[in-house]
A and B are shown apart, each in its own frame.
Chain A
Amino acid sequence: MSGNKRELRYAFPKTVPVMAGYLVLGAAYGILMTDSGFSPLWPVVISVIVYAGSLQYLGVSLMASAVNPVYGFLMSFMLNARHLFYGISMLDKYRDIKRFKPYLIFALTDETFSVLCGENPPAGMDRDKVYFWIAFLDHCYWVLGTALGALLGSLISFDTAGMDFVLTALFVVIFTGQWEEREGHPSALLGLSAAGICLLIFGPDNFIIPAMAVILAALAVVYGKKKG
């Protein structure tokens, strides 16, 4: 494959914060799974094919308690419902992607979404390849972190407490960057306040879906007013 270098060199720095976060959280997942009695192969395969951080953590208890797969499917879908927003947000950006499109949709995690949604590669660069590298590198970090945790978890002595804040910081940076674009202010504030209020009302485990509903309803009202 020739001519990949430029895109890779451009994409890599964008993924460094995700690398730090995924190595730590992936390793924590690998440790959790092996501590629950699974061989290292399990978490690594799951990180390759499921590739959804918070669901995989929930999955440890789903698997340990051997839940009914139908129930497992519904729980998983509820937890993943926010992915629907990422898809709708990326419809336009992904419309004329020629290559790697199924993979780019498959690999749309919170972090990859947040990096890609503000990403416009400079002219002359192959956009499809830039997107692919960002998505693929992130996926590699997650699998690598999982493998390291599963195989070497007991050897880690460096105190990594708080390192997972890197992902919070990533989202705050993207939020701050988007804030420069004025037309996004009402929507950004809507996201913050709807999520904040729903969190206070419904608690940390059940607030995402009500928050999504409030956001959709509010945007529908704004849209209706604009039209009429």
Chain B
Amino acid sequence: MKTEIAVVAAMTAATVLSRFLPFWVFKGGRSTPPFVEFLGKTLPYATIGLLVVYCLKSPISSVKTLLWEGGKGSPAAWGIPEIAAVAAVVLLHRWRKNALLSIGLGTAVYMVLIQLVF
């Protein structure tokens, strides 16, 4: 019990630190260094790109393994459901620009593909 509480406390402290640190270091009163200001403008774009890859890390790694081994794999192992669903989301979003519609239909496409097709 005591150990579990200590681990939860460590997880909480680490999360709070990772979220508050930039705000503590670059407090409003002091002027932010120009490089950090530049990062503030450019990082949001790069970070969302990083998150997209982060979410797709399993299919990407799976495709890499298949290519490495030069072997054959199922369509699911080649990331076909993810490719199709991401394409559906992008196309829908460029067409209708309705976030809920793109996300909802894209997820539905993915669920149908992995549950019923592949």
Contacts and interface: CB of A to CB of B under 8 A. Distances in A.
Binding site secondary structure of chain B: helix
Contacts of A190: 45-46, 49
A194 B46 contact: yes
Contacts of A155: none
A188 B45 contact: yes
Contact of B35 (A42, A69, A204, A223): A223
Contacts of A67: 7
Interface in B1-26: 3-4, 6-23, 26
Contacts, number: 261
Interface in A45-95: 45-46, 49-52, 55-56, 59, 62-63, 66-67, 69-70, 72-74, 76-77, 80-92, 94-95
Given A165-B85, A168-B56, A80 B50 contact: no
Given A63-B4, A175-B52, A176-B93, A169 B102 contact: yes
Given A76-B11, A172-B89, A208 B52 contact: no
Contacts of B41: 92
Binding site secondary structure of chain A: helix
B106 A187 contact: no
The size class of the interface chain B forms with chain A is 35 or more
A188 B55 contact: no
A168 B46 contact: no
A46 B20 CA distance: 19
Interface string B85-118: 1100110011000011011101100110111000
Contact of A184 (B45, B54, B99): B45
A169 B45 contact: no
A160 B86 CA distance: 19
A49 B12 contact: yes
A159 B115 contact: yes
A8 interface: no
Given A83-B19, A220-B35, A89 B102 contact: no
B15 to A, nearest CB: 5
A192 interface: yes
Contacts of A187: 42-46, 49
Contact of A219 (B39, B58, B107, B113): B39
Contact of A62 (B7, B50, B54, B106): B7
A87 B23 contact: yes
Interface stretch (A13-21, A122-130, A144-152): A13-21
A51 B11 CA distance: 10
A27 interface: no
B40 A66 contact: no
A59 B44 contact: no
Given A114-B51, A191-B53, 5 more contacts: A20-B107, A62-B7, A94-B23, A188-B45, A188-B46
The 6 tightest CB contacts between A and B, nearest first, are: A191-B49, A87-B22, A191-B46, A76-B14, A195-B53, A187-B45
